[in-house]
Amino acid sequence: MGQITNPIVKGISVLPIDRQSGPAAGAGATGNNSLFLGAGAGLNSTASNLIILGHGSGGAGIPGPAFNGTIVLGVNSLTALTGASTHLLPLVVIGAGIADSMTNADSTVLIGNNILSDFTNAGVTESVLIGNAIFPLKDGTGAQKVIDVVAIGYSIGALAADFNSPQTSVLIGSNILPNMLGNGIQGCIFIGDRSGSGITTSVSDNIHIGISTTGSTGGSNNVIIGANSAQVGSAGGDQSNVMLGATCMTSGSFNTVLGSRAQTAPNNTNFGTVAIGANAGNSLPATATNILIIEASTALGGGTGNAPSALIFGQFGTGNLILGQSSTGVNRDFGGVPGTNMLKLLNGTKATGTTIIGGGYFYVSAGVLHWVDSNGVDFGLSDPAAPTTGASTASFVATNKPGATTGAGPIAWENRVINGVSYQSPLWAT
């Protein structure tokens, strides 16, 4: 077993030198103020102020002055490091098997085991990676880069082969991007166990926060927040979706889904739908698109079960809107040939008991629009069917009526419903 150079022996004064080495460590090193311990550690290093502890770490020689002040603690880490980027700032590497094939690096902290274990070529720049099995890249080829990345956790991108160039991203959790098979990510945030499930190739500018979120392969500019929320997209990649709530689902692009289990229609070409509320959109037909729907489960409204009960339903393309508890196939129509900018009030009932304070309200009964004022007076504002006539039909002469014919009776009758009572008023043509 070899001796450490420059031993301090009790009672013997030895002139100090500024490099300490262990067995077969630091051979050929020229930097000063360094410490090498472990077989083959820091061979031929030219950097100064190094601390390298561990078998084989820095075995290719840590170059100076780029990595002056580098700390490497652990076995077989930075075994191939030979070059640096432009900023020439030191590394801190603590753990085993960290970046053991990487040739270039800059201003980086890597702490754990099996981090970038097969990355070669350009290496890593200004990043922080802490944990185990982070981008191990079993089959790395091409110009791999890790630039401005913060990755903290276990098994991040662990299955990826040829996972090139993750950039400007934050990944925190375990088993993130578990199905990533190639290429990289850029401008993304993934937080949570199994965040980014379903993504198999490059994505950009996505945010996934939650356990087992599923993204669209090749998607961009998507925000998914909520456990088990899924973006079921086309092979070309969906974009600009916002999902907030547990177990949400979208397909297509430019959709907004807010609420637990809310979703767009289940097709891969959905476009521009807004679904708000728990279970919102669950009853939409498969081809529905460009829809506004605000609804919640009947249980939340005092009913039972999780069937959605709508409050507002609309179509962005026509500007048509339905107010009330609508449902597909029952009352979500706007006529045979819909017009535009229509407001449909569904049949309802009049309030009972105490009158409305400080206002009034509309409601529709049997297709007739009513207004109820704050005194509880109910005015029918639209005509029902024509009033029934019989033997007692009124006919009389009104000398001051409008029009030129003085002897004729009314030509029509106007029907009004006030407080549930039907009244008829005579009408004359002018």
Is the pLDDT at 195 greater than 60? The verdict is yes
pLDDT at 116: 85
Is residue 255 within 8 A of residue 242, CB to CB? The reply is yes
Is the pLDDT at 240 greater than 90? The verdict is yes
pLDDT at 132: 93
Is the pLDDT at 139 greater than 70? The verdict is no
pLDDT at 3: 44
Name the residue with tokens 């926060």: 209
Total structural domains within the chain: 2
Q: What is the DSSP string of 210-266?
A: STT-B--TT-BS-EEESTT-EE---TT--BS-EEESTT-EE-SBS-EEESTT-B--S
Mean pLDDT calculated for residue range 38-66 = 86
287 within a domain of the structure (yes/no) = no
- Going 375 to 381 to 385 to 389, the CA torsion angle's sign is positive
239 within a domain of the structure (yes/no) = no
139 within a domain of the structure (yes/no) = no
Domain boundary among 96, 122, 145: 96
Q: Cα-flanking dihedrals φ and ψ of residue 251, to 5°?
A: -145, 150
Domain residues for 387?
Answer: 361-427
Spatial separation of the C-alpha atoms in residues 428 and 73, rounded to whole Å? 102
pLDDT at 12: 41
Is residue 241 within 8 A of residue 253, CB to CB? The reply is yes
pLDDT in tens, 315-363: 999 999 999 988 888 899 998 898 999 999 999 999 988 788 889 999 9
List all residues 6 or more positions away from 16 whose beta carbon is below 8 Å from its beta carbon. Answer: 6
Is pLDDT larger for residue 428 or for residue 369? 369
1 within a domain of the structure (yes/no) = yes
* Residue 42 pLDDT grade (very low, low, confident, very high; cuts 50, 70, 90): confident
Is the pLDDT at 403 greater than 70? The verdict is no
Domain boundary among 73, 96, 119: 96
Name the residue with tokens 């889904």: 257
* Lowest-confidence segment of 30-34, 240-244, 330-334, 345-349 by average pLDDT: 30-34
Is the pLDDT at 234 greater than 80? The verdict is no
Domain boundary among 96, 116, 134: 96
pLDDT at 125: 83
Q: Cα-flanking dihedrals φ and ψ of residue 298, to 5°?
A: -60, -25
Look up the pTM and report it.
0.79
2 within a domain of the structure (yes/no) = yes
210 within a domain of the structure (yes/no) = no
pLDDT at 9: 40
38 within a domain of the structure (yes/no) = yes
89 within a domain of the structure (yes/no) = yes
pLDDT at 4: 45
